[in-house]
Chains A and B, each alone.
Chain A
Amino acid sequence: MTRLSAIVYHLSRLGLAAVFIYAGFIKAVDPVTFAGQIANYQILPYAWNYLVAATLPYLELLCGVLLLLNQRVRPALLVLFVLNVIFMLALTSAIIRGFDIDCGCFKPDAENRTSPLMALWRDIGLLLLMIPTWLLHDRRQPAEHNK
């Protein structure tokens, strides 16, 4: 693994870790508000919004922490990839139905809320960040073992 690819790998890994730890933490401390944000998408039955709000932030947190610690990177990336794709499908459905709602990605903020379209672009950015993390993690292993 070259020095440049090592830097790219660690930067993208830490970037993803920071995003998902922040997103997970801020939603984990206020599950009721997060449940409301999910309910705004009008996809799940009422009570299921609360089940998702109760569990999803901890999945984001756990995966973020694993990325931060550089442990189980690929399983964590796989889970975050699937989550991200689900988020994007939900956002696309909100855009198609013309909903003007807060995306529910981070903390709800009436002044600076993120529209579904902006959130979709951000999710695409996160997906792009996952690619070098996944690929470079593979190449990193032999070098690490040879130490």
Chain B
Amino acid sequence: MLCALALTVGFSINYQLVMDAFSGKTVATPVGKTVPPATGTASSVVTNAYPDLVELEELDELLAEGALLVDARNLAAYRISHPLGAVPMPLEELTTRLPRFMQQVPRDRVLIVYCTGFGCPDSFDLGARLLREGYRQVRVFEGGFPLWRDEGRPLAEGLE
């Protein structure tokens, strides 16, 4: 009785969320965070685009084809350990790092954004921002750094 009441209330309140999850839609939308509006002219085409997800198996294929890993975690976490070849791009340093990144990385390169694993919204925030800046193939790796590390993928330490 107790359980049924609580489960019914919870399910009713979060009906849409659960339905979205079971229908395979991306539901890990950013919570409580906003991305600063993009500046410049490159963002005008896809203002509301949202990055698609990528699973580990496909991630391997994309990386073999030249995709670039982009780390949305903070710099301290990046310095301790990060996937080999990943570029640091913490949200709080976007204004300083993004212009240089955009000069060096062509818009048609596949970007794989990740942060601290399932539920972390920063990768979606950063992915949406990169799409608005004109990058056409931005994917989010939801398992993030924890899954990469736990699957025994190559790691590196230090800053760049």
Contact = CB atoms under 8 A, between A and B. Distances in A.
B74 A47 contact: no
Q: Which of A46, A49, A55 has the most CB of B within 10 A?
A: A55
Interface residues of B, number: 34
Contacts of B66: none
Interface stretch (A10-18, A94-102, A120-128): A94-102
Interface in A25-54: 28, 30-37, 39-40, 46-47, 49-51, 53-54
Secondary structure type dominating chain A contacts: helix
Contacts, number: 105
Interface string B25-64: 0011101100000000000000000000000000000000
**Most chain A beta carbons < 10 A, residue from B13, B20, B149:** B13
A36 B146 CA distance: 12
Given A59-B10, A62-B2, A110-B74, A36 B18 contact: no
Interface in A51-98: 51, 53-59, 61-63, 66, 72, 75-76, 79, 97-98
A132 interface: no
Interface of A: 28, 30-37, 39-40, 46-47, 49-51, 53-59, 61-63, 66, 72, 75-76, 79, 97-101, 108, 110
B24 to A, nearest CB: 8
B118 A49 contact: yes
A59 B21 contact: no
